[in-house]
Structures are given as C-alpha cells and as structure tokens.
Structure 1
Amino acid sequence: MTVTSNEHQVYELQNDTLCAQFTSYGAILTHLFVTDKKGVVRDVVLGFDTPEEYVAAGQSDANPYFGATVGRTCNRITEGKFTLNGRAYQLPVNNGPHSLHGGIRGFDKREWTATQDTSARYPALKFTYTAADGEEGYPGEVTVTCTYTLRENELWVDYTAQLTDNNPKDLETIIGMTNHTYFNLSGCADPTIVDHVFESSATGVLRVTDTQVPTGEIIPMAKAAPFDFTRPKTFAAGLEPHHEHVKVCKGYDHFLVLPQPTTPEVPIAKLSAPSSGISVTVGTDAKGVQLYTGNFLDSTFKGKKSQPANTVYVKHAAVCLETSGMLDAVNHPEWRSGMVLGAGKVWTQSTVYRFHVASA
C-alpha cells in the first residue's frame, strides 16, 4: 500500500503475523502492529499519525527521533570534530557541546525514495537516499539504503552505504546508522516500560562523560551491576533516582558492548511486556546496542489513534534498542576501522526484531 500525504509517501508491509507502516520522510517506521496474548492488536511503537507531525517534531528542540533512520552517524561525535587523512572536519553541534544523530538535518529529516516489492516471498520496502558532499559537515557524496523486510514473525532492518563515483578516489567518510524505534510492548496500555523485562548478552558498558560521550573505557558487567541484564529483570530497580546514571541521564542512555562476532541469527537481547505477553528478541551484526529508556519524553507528545485513548508519551514511556558500531568510533583509534568508509567499499549493518506472544 502506498498513500501520498502531501509530498511524503506512506507505505505498509503486512503478513500473517505483523503489520508495519512507514513514511518516506526519514525512512521512518511509524506503526508496528502485533496481536497480544488475548487476541488484541497492539501498536507497539511510539510515533505520530501523519508524516507532517514527524516534520514538525524534527524542527523542535524536543525532537524524539521516533522510529527514525538515523545517520550519517548515530549518537554523539565529541564536539562534532574528527580527522580523516590529516584533514579536520567540524560537524554542527546540536546536543550540548557535541553533534548528535547526524546533525541538524540528519537522515531522519530527509526525503527518501522508496521501492516496494510485495510479490516476493517476504515483502520488503527499500529506501534510498544520496547525501551530498559536505552535507551536515560530512565529507563525500554517499548513497545509503535502508531496507525493511517482514519474514514471518520478524522485522529485518538492513543498511548499506557507499561513496559514489563523484568523489575523489582517495576520499574517505564515516558512517554509522541505526534505527531509533521506541518500543512499548503493551501498546501503551501500560504508560511506561518500568515493568518490562529485559535481558542481554552484553559483556560490558561504555563509560561516558557527564555530557554522554565515551571515554574509551569499557566497564565489565561484573563492575556495572545496574547495567547487567545477563539475567532477566525489569527496568524498575535501575531507574530509581539514587543511581548515578539516573542523576546524569534521567535513566538508561548507555551503550552495551556485545561479544564479538555477532550475527543477526543469534539473539543479543530480549524485551518482554508481561501484561500483553508480547516479547521481542533482537539479533544484529553490530558492535553493540544503545539502551535508551525515553528519559526526555515529557508528555509533550500524544499517542497515536492506534493506541489507547488519551495516551500521552510520558518519561520512560518506551525503550529504544539502537544497534550500531562503537560510539564516536572515529575519535578512538582502536574502534574507528568499522566506521570509516573508503572508495569502492560497501558498509553494511543488519538487525532483526523477532516477535513472540506468550499463551494467555
């Protein structure tokens, strides 16, 4: 299904288990419908009803990046600065002293071109965008794709990025995309995810400064108890106000480092909502996952028509599981190889969300 909403397109992928909706603005996942243990269809992601609302939110200081395809690099680049091949680059600073999620007009605020294939065994929707040399301060003209595919109970998100032939042969750029979907697996019947259960195979967490950029140190889980989800537990205890990460970040907003190598076929995290019986396991070939508990949601945004009446997105209304390479990798020599893209190379990253429903 394709629907025109002014200059933005709206698309739908559906199979016997899942129904997902998207918009060409930001290659955004806008809705994701899953049937719960009682047979009730739940929209389990936060967002808006129309593309125009995403445009308006993106122009505000409270932009939540609901469901967005984030790039050219996700998360923070320290002071917006990096060096490649002896040349210094300066990105826009839009988050305290740092550059966040690709800058002021990152990939989430661009119009993408979509190609839809519903005739194949697995329905897929491929978004393509070409970023200009110098866009948001990044070097090189680069073409990126984001492909969403439904495979039975799975939603796959596959990325590619490649420098075009219009660039000098010795030019390099940096790339590090992610999906910024907010999950509330009760379909917002529960106003927060405090009672959602989370577990992960992560072996460490990045230590960050008080402005949330990595120091370069990986803290082993044995020394980072609030971040240790090797056994399933709710978020409640880790969101109590006495924790240092809650004082600084208002909740979880930290990068969990995964054991390497990882593949999308092997689960690295699981999120469950006992009230709905819906759970999602995450598989990826990325280096880690940013665990973010919607700390800056403040009731500014209302829920969608597909969610319970009078839903308001309050603090901790949902959780993001943003799979990506190491944060600010370009500024850490031991990590940067996975972030630097040269001529003739193709950067790829895949993540799969597998949904399950417990018996009533």
Structure 2
Amino acid sequence: MRKLYSIMAGTALFAIGCGTGSLAQAAEATQEPAGVLADGTEVTEITLTGKNGVSVSILSFGATLHEFLVPDRNGNLADIAVSYENLSDYEERPNYWGATIGRYANRIAGGKFTLDGKTYQLPQNDGENSLHGGGKGWDVRNWKVESVKSGRVASVRLSLVSPDGEAGYPGAVNASVTYSLDDAGSLRIEFGAATNKPTVINMTNHAIFNMAGEGAPQGAMDNVLTIPASHYTPVNEKLIPTGELRAVDGTVFDFRSGKAMNEGLRDGTDQQIVYGRGFDHNFALDKGVTAQPELAAILTDPASGRKLEVLTTEPGLQVYAGNFIDGTYIGKNGHLYRMGDGIALEPQKFPDSPNHPDFVSARVDPGKPYRHVMVYRVSVEP
C-alpha cells in the first residue's frame, strides 16, 4: 500500500492541488495492488484525489476507508483516519477501522431477532450480543471492484454477494458501496442492498477520526464535537438500548452547542458513561430519516483548523470514543493506539432495532432495496 502517512509538511502539495490554469480541473481515481490475503486473494487499493489536496484511499478488503489526507489552515496534510498500515493487520486483527459494516451495524441483543414469526440466531461475538455482523461480517470480506472513474468526481463502486443464511441472516443479498470524492472535499458514501426474501440490513462506515492527525500525541479528545440531537438511546450494562429516548438536556450527552470530547468523558457519576467506558452511544438525530443527507455531526480540531461534517439519510449516529482501544494495536507510522486516540461517528439505524418495534425499522423486503447515503465533508476553519 502507498506510503503517504508521513506527509505532514505538505504545504507544497496543497498549493499545487489548489492551483488553476494548466492544472487538472477534475478529481482523479487510480488503483493499484495492495497485497494478498492469507488464502492468496488479491486486494486492490483505490485512491481518489481532489484538486484541493484532499485524498482518500479505499481497500477492497472490507470496502475500507483506509486513508483520509486533509490539509490544515496552513496547507499541511495529515491523515485523519486511525487505522492499520499493513494489509496483514486488517486480516489478522480485524477491528472494523474504516470498514463497511454489514449486514447489521452495531449490536443485536442476544444475537437473535424475530422476523415474520421466525427467530434467527446470529453469531455472538460481543458477550451475548452480535456486533457488526457477528465477527465474520462484510468488514472481513474482499469486495469486488466494479468501476473506478475520474471526472467531475472521482469514484469507486464495490459490490458483494451475501448468501442466504450467512451469519444466520435470512435472504441472499447483493450489496454495494460507492465512494465519490469531489474537488470541494466531500466524500459521499452510498450504500445499497437488495434481497430475495425479508431480512434486516443496517450498513455504515466505521472510520475512526482524529482531526489533529492519526497518532497525534495529544490524542483526539480535544476534538470538538457538535451533534444536532436532543435525545439519545441509553443502554444497559451490555450496551443494548433500553428502548427509552432520553433527553440530553442537562447531561454530558448534550453536544448541541459543541464541546470538547473530553468534557464528561470520565464522569463516573453518570451510569451511562460507566456502562460505555465513556461515550459509546447512539444519538437520535432531530432530523430523523431524510431523503437526502442532512447534518449529523461536526468534528473540529481547533489547533489545526481541520473540520469534518458528517451528513446522513439515517436517523441515528453512534458516537464511539475509542474506549476499547487498549494500547495493543499498532497502526500507521508505528503508532501505538490507545483509548481516546480516535472518534467514530457512525450514521445508522438505532442499535438492536429488530428487537424494538418503536425504533425505525431495519427491515428490507424484495423489490424494495436498502439505501443509505452519508457524506464526510472536510474543510478548514480560519
């Protein structure tokens, strides 16, 4: 895989990317071999680059957002995506970082749900729960690269076939994810899935961000987070939603006006913080389900000026402050990642929706394909 992680003094590259005149006026997409898996399967890396210096790379393994290079207010590039450097680590120590999650993102209680009177048992890889597809989900599948295009936007479309009964889920599913980067710094991610029998689907991207740059010695908890959500879904000790929609007003879960992630992160007087070892909760976005992506979160690093806006068509946003990253994971540039070194902002249906009739349904039927569109939009604050 390409070695761009050390580009921190990237002023010249940013200046070139922002120029006019003879320089390219279109986003560019390229692809190259990324290595092979243990079984000999070849993995592809696709790089999308905009003329403003923003660049992302996607691995076919897990349809993973592997790298996200973003300039600061001085034009210096940093990779804001916390993830592995080597393909072998993604395979041998899967940790969802940057991956496309399916069939069902987040937790399902007891690893089971009932659909049309039939109960389905899923792998239990999170205590009693099933998490992110049950341990052998779409994050550890090598997706097929369908198309790679340059132009007004640079894009890559990947696809996957999930057979009926895979990981216990009903229905054969044809899934796809398309990453599209424009010259303004917006990375659009569109998920789609069609099934031949009723099933449940909840797809998202599990990128973990640090707007100061992955591996920044101060970690990511100085990043400032804003979420337009007046309620969240509290959980029990197994991190399963209780079914309540609880107001954030007067609690550490109130991010409506924006605050640093470390505010309230270690408030042991809040039982929800104790259960999650910090923030690991779903926020019920005030916008609800929308036809087009609308704002779900803003994450900024005041020191560098880097800003990330997350938009989605889905009703929920899981915020995870890297609470289970325990210092045993070695990532890019040999950085040893620890608790609080990154923040996941995962738009999705609510956790355990198949077991909560009052939540927005995750049911997908034949002839009515699943669709989720989300956007990571980066910019720089003065």
Structure-1-length-normalised TM-score: 0.91
Q: 1:76-95, CA deviations, whole angstroms, 9 ceiling, x for partnerless residues?
A: 11101111111111001110
SS of equivalent residue, structure 1 residue 222: coil
User: Is the Cα–Cα contact under 8 Å of residues 191 and 314 in structure 1 kept in the other structure?
Assistant: no
Given the alignment of the two structures, is residue 68 of structure 1 paired with residue 99 of structure 2, yes or no?
yes
Aligned-partner Cα distance in 2 for 1:99–1:261: 25
Amino acid at match of 1:342: D
2:318 maps to what in 1? 290
Amino acid at match of 2:275: V
Report deviation, 1:336: 5.2
Aligned-partner Cα distance in 2 for 1:48–1:8: 15
Aligned-partner Cα distance in 2 for 1:158–1:180: 14
Unaligned runs of 5+ in 1: 59-63
Aligned-partner Cα distance in 2 for 1:336–1:33: 34
Given the alignment of the two structures, is residue 340 of structure 1 paired with residue 356 of structure 2, yes or no?
no
Report deviation, 1:190: 4.1
Aligned-partner Cα distance in 2 for 1:122–1:252: 35
Q: 1:129-165, CA deviations, whole angstroms, 9 ceiling, x for partnerless residues?
A: 01011100000100111111102210111100101xx
Aligned-partner Cα distance in 2 for 1:35–1:201: 26
Aligned-partner Cα distance in 2 for 1:203–1:147: 31
Given the alignment of the two structures, is residue 215 of structure 1 paired with residue 246 of structure 2, yes or no?
no
Aligned-partner Cα distance in 1 for 2:57–2:319: 24
Given the alignment of the two structures, is residue 316 of structure 1 paired with residue 340 of structure 2, yes or no?
yes
Report deviation, 1:49: 1.8
Alignment match of 1:200 (pick from 224, 227, 241): 227
SS of equivalent residue, structure 2 residue 249: helix
Amino acid at match of 1:285: T
SS of equivalent residue, structure 1 residue 246: helix
Report deviation, 1:230: 0.8
Alignment of 1:6-17 (within 5 A): 6=36, 7-17=42-52
Report deviation, 1:2: 1.8
2:160 maps to what in 1? 129
1:45 maps to what in 2? 81
Report deviation, 1:286: 0.4
Q: 1:65-109, CA deviations, whole angstroms, 9 ceiling, x for partnerless residues?
A: 110101100101110111111111100111011100011200001
Amino acid at match of 1:14: T
Given the alignment of the two structures, is residue 187 of structure 1 paired with residue 213 of structure 2, yes or no?
yes
User: Is the Cα–Cα contact under 8 Å of residues 72 and 304 in structure 2 kept in the other structure?
Assistant: yes
Alignment match of 1:113 (pick from 129, 133, 144): 144
SS of equivalent residue, structure 1 residue 226: coil
Aligned-partner Cα distance in 1 for 2:291–2:51: 26
- In 2 relative to 1, CA 79–23 (structure 1 residues): closer, same or farther, beyond 3 Å? same
1:230 maps to what in 2? 256
Identify the range of structure 1 (282-291 vs 325-334) with the bigger mean alpha-carbon deviation.
325-334
1:358 maps to what in 2? 381
Aligned-partner Cα distance in 2 for 1:39–1:333: 49
- In 2 relative to 1, CA 261–175 (structure 1 residues): closer, same or farther, beyond 3 Å? closer
Report the identity percentage. Answer: 34
User: Is the Cα–Cα contact under 8 Å of residues 153 and 355 in structure 1 kept in the other structure?
Assistant: yes
1:100 maps to what in 2? 131
Aligned-partner Cα distance in 1 for 2:31–2:376: 24
Given the alignment of the two structures, is residue 162 of structure 1 paired with residue 176 of structure 2, yes or no?
no
Report deviation, 1:265: 4.7
Q: 1:24-81, CA deviations, whole angstroms, 9 ceiling, x for partnerless residues?
A: 11000100000111221100001112322200112xxxxx311010110010111011
Aligned-partner Cα distance in 2 for 1:73–1:217: 21
User: Is the Cα–Cα contact under 8 Å of residues 234 and 272 in structure 2 kept in the other structure?
Assistant: no
1:175 maps to what in 2? 201
- In 2 relative to 1, CA 101–69 (structure 1 residues): closer, same or farther, beyond 3 Å? same
User: Is the Cα–Cα contact under 8 Å of residues 236 and 275 in structure 2 kept in the other structure?
Assistant: no
Given the alignment of the two structures, is residue 3 of structure 1 paired with residue 39 of structure 2, yes or no?
no
Report deviation, 1:314: 1.0
Report deviation, 1:343: 1.1
Amino acid at match of 1:304: K
User: Is the Cα–Cα contact under 8 Å of residues 281 and 353 in structure 1 kept in the other structure?
Assistant: yes
Instruction: Name segments (4+ residues, structure 1) moved above 6 Å.
Output: none
1:254 maps to what in 2? 281
User: Is the Cα–Cα contact under 8 Å of residues 264 and 352 in structure 1 kept in the other structure?
Assistant: no
Q: 1:191-250, CA deviations, whole angstroms, 9 ceiling, x for partnerless residues?
A: 411111111111201011110011111001225x11101111111221124243332221
- In 2 relative to 1, CA 328–239 (structure 1 residues): closer, same or farther, beyond 3 Å? same
Unaligned runs of 5+ in 2: 1-29, 37-41
Aligned-partner Cα distance in 2 for 1:26–1:116: 16
Q: 1:281-329, CA deviations, whole angstroms, 9 ceiling, x for partnerless residues?
A: 1111101100000001111122313xxxx53211110000000012211
Aligned-partner Cα distance in 1 for 2:289–2:324: 33
- In 2 relative to 1, CA 265–96 (structure 1 residues): closer, same or farther, beyond 3 Å? closer
SS of equivalent residue, structure 2 residue 329: coil
User: Is the Cα–Cα contact under 8 Å of residues 235 and 241 in structure 2 kept in the other structure?
Assistant: yes
Structure-2-length-normalised TM-score: 0.86
Aligned-partner Cα distance in 2 for 1:176–1:41: 33
Aligned residues: 342
Report deviation, 1:261: 4.2
1:270 maps to what in 2? 298
SS of equivalent residue, structure 1 residue 355: strand
Given the alignment of the two structures, is residue 304 of structure 1 paired with residue 332 of structure 2, yes or no?
yes
User: Is the Cα–Cα contact under 8 Å of residues 263 and 283 in structure 1 kept in the other structure?
Assistant: no
